[in-house]
Amino acid sequence: MGRVLIIGAGGVGTVVVNKVAQNHDVFTEIMLASRTKSKCDAIAEDVKKRTGVSVQTAKVDADNVPELVKLFKEFKPEIVINVALPYQDLTIMDACLECGISYLDTANYEPLDEAHFEYSWQWAYKERFEKAGITAILGCGFDPGVTSVYTAYAAKHHFDEIQYLDIVDCNAGNHHKAFATNFNPEINIREITQKGLYFENGQWVETKPLEIHKTLTYPRVGEFESYLLHHEELESLVKNFPTLKRARFWMTFGQEYLTHLRVIQNIGMSSIKPIDYNGQQIVPLQFLKAVLPNPQDLGENYEGETSIGCRIRGIKDGKERTYYVYNNCSHEEAYKETGAQGVSYTTGVPATIGAMMFLQGLWKKPGVFNVEEFNPDPFMDQLNKQGLPWHELFDIDLEL
């Protein structure tokens, strides 16, 4: 049905390549390109063994538009799945525009020298994508991604008006390392050390980093301390669902993780300002990334599950209703199937489904869109088929 180019050969890229190969009827020609070609070759070899499907590989610097354009013109993909880093979003979108190719990512743009993310930079491409007749699907991982589709599905099928949204993200797994991040350490630490932010009564409310926390109970895995964070999907969800009176995002962290994080911050290792070291400019956080465990290597000993979902309160037929939709994903099962741990899996599977929706013509329209702007039904259907089944609870105590 279509040609797909995946950029980024990390944990998420590994899962995407596995899943597109498993859906070879939809993704007929597959290429994986990244900065380090040997990583692409190793993934392609493993995927060939697992699925029998051949994946082409290439080296590309995704910060370099002419290099991207050259690759796009050679391979001629219908869609590019960007699972490199958020720093590359705009250069890849520029190259897509130049070649008339559609685009999908899992994280919104961040400038390298400023720990700050928002959609404005990518929403600014809307008219140009419309004129070029191509589609950009933004934020198609789990959160953002599935959580946004869950919200759209709830609004479509279960509520007349959604009013209170709490996205709850629990990783109850154990990788048996003293400290490690589940996805790119640089991006992860930049996200968590920012001020908290949530939306209430038409306004954004700022908090100190990790200031607000609460014990929440997650299905099958139990109670975990959950911390209010700013997370990117809140920005588009409150815009696309204007009935929301409040929208918040919660993520669980263990005490051990938080202690390490505090030390990292106190000794200046989370800084993104370059410093002089023996006559060489280095960024402390980038140096830290180089010494921390690679998220891709956590899979082998990872036990337990993630549990991510949306807790929603609103009105149905004149009455208040509560609703909880969630998925639990086993790290062990993810590793067995793809060689990557659960956090990479829960991101890579939705990215694959989003690209599938595009190639099947179900999520295909000119412009730049967040995932909740498309029909959630075929995506929800595929979540059940592609390894991330979801469950619903009605009229329960949401704890929030």
End-to-end CA distance of the chain: 44
What is the nearest approach in angstroms of ligand NDP to the Cβ of residue 345?
10
Q: Determine the interface stretch with ligand NDP among 2-10, 125-133, 213-221, 379-387 (rule: CB under 6 A).
A: 2-10
Among 142, 159, 374, 379, binds ligand NDP (CB under 6 A): 142
What is the nearest approach in angstroms of ligand NDP to the Cβ of residue 9?
4
Among 284, 295, 367, 387, binds ligand NDP (CB under 6 A): 295
Among 21, 31, 60, 97, binds ligand NDP (CB under 6 A): 60
Among 19, 39, 175, 313, binds ligand NDP (CB under 6 A): 39
Q: Determine the interface stretch with ligand NDP among 128-136, 179-187, 200-208, 369-377 (rule: CB under 6 A).
A: 179-187
Amino acid at 280: Q
Q: Does 54 contact ligand NDP by CB under 6 A? A: no
Q: Does 108 contact ligand NDP by CB under 6 A? A: no
Residue 104's φ and ψ, nearest 5 degrees, are -145, 140
Q: Determine the interface stretch with ligand NDP among 72-80, 126-134, 140-148, 236-244 (rule: CB under 6 A).
A: 140-148
Q: Does 106 contact ligand NDP by CB under 6 A? A: yes
Nearer to ligand NDP, 78 or 89 (CB): 89
Nearer to ligand NDP, 151 or 344 (CB): 344
Residue 197's φ and ψ, nearest 5 degrees, are -155, 135
Q: Does 36 contact ligand NDP by CB under 6 A? A: yes
Of 233, 219, 192, 180, the closest CA to residue 307 belongs to 219
Q: Does 192 contact ligand NDP by CB under 6 A? A: no
Q: Determine the interface stretch with ligand NDP among 118-126, 183-191, 261-269, 275-283 (rule: CB under 6 A).
A: 183-191
What is the nearest approach in angstroms of ligand NDP to the Cβ of residue 32?
10
Nearer to ligand NDP, 21 or 343 (CB): 343
What is the nearest approach in angstroms of ligand NDP to the Cβ of residue 327?
12
Nearer to ligand NDP, 183 or 198 (CB): 183
Burial class of residue 347, CB neighbours in 10 A (0-12, 13-18, 19+): buried
Nearer to ligand NDP, 159 or 358 (CB): 358
Distance in angstroms (rounded) separating the CA atoms of residues 350 and 383: 7
Distance in angstroms (rounded) separating the CA atoms of residues 348 and 376: 18
Q: Does 180 contact ligand NDP by CB under 6 A? A: no
Q: Does 355 contact ligand NDP by CB under 6 A? A: no
Residue numbers 332-351 binding ligand NDP by CB under 6 A = 343-344, 347
Residue numbers 11-30 binding ligand NDP by CB under 6 A = 11-13
Strands 367-370 and 2-7, sheet pairing: unpaired
Q: Which residue has the tokens 């899943």?
A: 19
Distance in angstroms (rounded) separating the CA atoms of residues 140 and 130: 20
Q: Determine the interface stretch with ligand NDP among 34-42, 219-227, 234-242, 315-323 (rule: CB under 6 A).
A: 34-42
Amino acid at 389: P
Among 296, 306, 330, 352, binds ligand NDP (CB under 6 A): 296
Among 18, 134, 144, 334, binds ligand NDP (CB under 6 A): 144
Contact residues: ligand NDP, CB under 6 A: 8-13, 34-36, 39, 60-63, 83-86, 88, 106-107, 141-145, 183-184, 187, 295-296, 343-344, 347
